[in-house]
């Protein structure tokens, strides 16, 4: 039961983050919260497949600036692929996907800081 509850909470937090980034007009747009939930689910599935494929090819990323840039590009590509599967979600090209990926990271970071205050 704990795993399912954790998954649902993670999905809802991701949907809130996507919804916030959409409202900030950072290259990603969702039509509503339901579309944000579907987008969060699809993004997690596509992201998992991409990471699995990279691992299958033997591509590993260490730490550092180069790895961060590569992960940002991968996140943008995942957003662009997910755009094709989610009705109600649009990504404004590669530049918009990069900006949205940065926005998603920043919003997650801020939420983490807020959650840390109350922990």
In the chain, domain spans: 2-118
pLDDT of residue 92: 93
Residue of higher predicted confidence among 61 and 22 = 22
Q: Is the per-residue pLDDT at 113 higher than 60?
A: yes
What pLDDT, in 10s, does the model give residues 64-101?
Answer: 788 888 888 888 998 999 899 899 999 999 999 999 99
Alpha carbons 69 and 61: distance in angstroms, whole number: 11
Give me 46's structure tokens: 């596509």
Give helix 93-118 / helix 2-23 axis angle, nearest 10°: 120
One-character DSSP codes across 49-115: HHHHHHHHTT----SSHHHHHHHHHHHHHHHHHHHHH-TTEEE-HHHHHHHHHHHHHHHHHHHHHHH
Q: Alpha carbon of 9 to those of 14, 96, 102: distances in Å?
A: 9, 27, 22
Give the 3-state secondary structure of 87-98.
CCEEECHHHHHH
């Amino acid at each position: 039961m704990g795993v399912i509850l954790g998954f649902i909470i993670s999905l809802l937090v991701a949907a809130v983050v996507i919804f916030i980034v959409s409202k900030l007009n950072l290259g990603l747009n969702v039509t509503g919260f339901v579309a944000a939930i579907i987008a969060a689910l699809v993004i997690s599935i596509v992201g998992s497949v991409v990471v699995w494929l990279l691992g299958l090819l033997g591509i590993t990323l260490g730490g550092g600036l180069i790895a961060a840039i590569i992960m940002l590009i991968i996140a943008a590509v995942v957003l662009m692929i997910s755009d094709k599967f989610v009705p109600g979600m649009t990504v404004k090209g590669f530049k918009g996907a990069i900006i949205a990926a940065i926005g998603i990271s920043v919003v997650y970071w801020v939420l983490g800081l807020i959650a840390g205050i109350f922990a």
